[in-house]
Amino acid sequence: MPDSDPLTSAAKTLHDHWQAGTKLSALPEAQRPRDRKSGYAVQAAMQPYTSGQVFGWKIAATSAAGQKHINVDGPLAGRLLAERVIADGGACPLGNNLMRVAEMEFAFRMAADLPPRAAPYTQDDVMGCVDTLHPAIEIPDSRYHDFTKVGLAQLVADNACAHRFVLGPAAPEGWRAVDLAAHPVRAFVNEEVAGEGSGSVVLGDPRIALTWLVNELSCHQMTLRAGEVVTTGTCVKPVAIEAGETISGDFGPLGRVAVTIKS
């Protein structure tokens, strides 16, 4: 019997497609969220269907180009599911992934909870609660056949196109003194340079993006918790991937991260 709560039903629909590797054109009309708030409610309702805790959060559409590509007017937050996290140097199944791209990202692991509050968090507030910085690779996907047409609310419900995630080792001590906006990042496919960029692509600075995420969660009465990881958006134009390739991100003295794509 279908769940009587339409948002819970939407969560099950999306998770069932995620598990099966199948796609849908859009959520059924009766299950469709209408705004960010109800989109995040679908995300929350998906949690009971997963096999582990939330690993952390991702930020989608942190550049003007990314927002234009998926037809939204600002960033979106999505949950990273622990069962979809791949060890650094591990293998990522490509399966029926329609996006078929890898994104090189700065990720932060939190040292303290940041609960909802009336006053916005400042960047200093947020950075004071960060434990470690990591190089990371996100391999996004959507449960929709055409994610560019379903609209903001359904994209939020779909975990903002979260799929697979690779967390590299913690950056050496001293990373806080680095200008992350100006810091260069390179993407490699089979050791050949496939793209270059910097942290400035990510809302101007990955620290700005992290602060946005904290305030987005706070606005919707959600807590960013100690131990969770936030990946802040791609610093390099998304790199096309195929089975058999090794994808790596070179963050210079801040570290390197890699993953092998399998069929």
User: What average pLDDT does the structure give for the chain?
Assistant: 96
Residues 144-171: what's their mean pLDDT?
97
For the chain, the 3-state helix, strand and coil shares in percent, each to the nearest 5, are: 30, 30, 40
The neighbouring-strand residues paired with 106 are 135
pTM beyond 0.85, yes or no: yes
pLDDT digits (tens, 9 = 90+) for 55-65: 999 999 999 88
pLDDT digits (tens, 9 = 90+) for 102-140: 999 999 999 999 999 999 999 999 999 999 999 999 999
Sorted by sequence, the CB contacts under 8 Å of residue 215 that are 6+ apart come out as 120, 121
Environment class of 83 (CB within 10 Å of its CB; exposed 0-12, middle 13-18, buried 19+)? exposed
pLDDT digits (tens, 9 = 90+) for 202-248: 999 999 999 999 999 999 999 999 999 999 999 999 999 999 999 99
Specify whether the CB–CB gap between 98 and 141 falls below 8 A.
Answer: yes
Evaluate if residue 4 carries a pLDDT over 70.
no
Residue-level pLDDT at 89: 98
Of 172, 150, 194, 161, nearest to 24 by C-alpha is 150
